[in-house]
């Protein structure tokens, strides 16, 4: 079968334009920490009423990553009626990401609970370690709280953090000195490698 040259050129041009458009569209829809940028936040919020607590927790965490502050009122309502402690913690993280301040206190408090690892996971995603310094400097913190804070700072800390955690290298609280040493090693490793600070989630909504 013979193609006329003009027809062939037009066909190739259409294919090329279509390919470029597909690439550009894909680049503009970059996933946010595994969540498609096109995800319907309202749809995720509706899943907070699902009977499965795992679904509710994942939905809250997805809303947190998207910083979907337009769902704040709805999330607050679900928080008040939520009985599952893991889901409540995830809702606290979402509310903090929406610009609320009080939830951070509750998340830090959960470091002294059976949900310590979950809380550390959220605190390790903070955009700056500065928010954790006041908590670490509090007197009479339970050892588990200090350990949890140090583990989070190990992930997000910077050169200033090294000075903040230095006193804890001599702590007599169980496991605190070890956590401070590990945090120091992790931060120094990142600094020596010149690791750039990157944020996979949308920035937290600024407090009005």
Give 115-124 pLDDT, tens digit per residue: 999 999 999 9
Q: Residue 18 burial by CB count (10 A; 0-12/13-18/19+): exposed, middle or buried?
A: exposed
DSSP state of 106: H
Give 82-140 pLDDT, tens digit per residue: 999 999 999 999 999 999 999 999 999 999 999 999 999 999 999 999 999 999 999 99
Look up the pTM and report it. 0.79
Top-confidence residue, 40 or 147: 147
Task: Give the whole-angstrom CA distance, residue 51 versus residue 57.
Answer: 11
Domains and CATH numbers, the chain: 39-100 (1.25.10.10), 105-194 (1.25.10)
């Amino acid at each position: 079968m013979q193609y006329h040259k003009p027809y062939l050129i037009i066909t190739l041009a259409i294919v090329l334009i279509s390919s470029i458009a597909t690439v550009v569209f894909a680049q503009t829809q970059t996933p946010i920490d595994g969540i498609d940028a096109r995800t319907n936040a309202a749809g995720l919020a509706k899943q907070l009423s699902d009977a499965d607590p795992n679904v509710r927790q994942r939905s809250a965490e997805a809303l947190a990553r998207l910083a979907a502050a337009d769902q704040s009122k709805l999330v607050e309502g679900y928080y008040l009626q939520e009985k599952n402690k893991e889901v409540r913690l995830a809702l606290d993280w979402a509310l903090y990401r929406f610009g609320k301040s009080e939830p951070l206190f509750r998340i830090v408090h959960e470091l002294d609970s059976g949900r310590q690892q979950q809380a550390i996971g959220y605190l390790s995603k903070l955009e700056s370690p500065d928010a954790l310094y006041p908590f670490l400097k509090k007197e009479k913190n339970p050892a588990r709280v200090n350990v949890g804070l140090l583990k989070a700072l190990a992930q997000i800390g910077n050169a200033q953090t090294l000075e903040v955690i230095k006193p804890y290298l001599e702590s007599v609280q169980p496991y605190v000195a070890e956590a401070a040493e590990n945090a120091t090693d992790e931060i120094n490793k990142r600094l020596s490698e010149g690791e750039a600070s990157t944020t996979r989630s949308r920035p937290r909504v600024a407090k009005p």
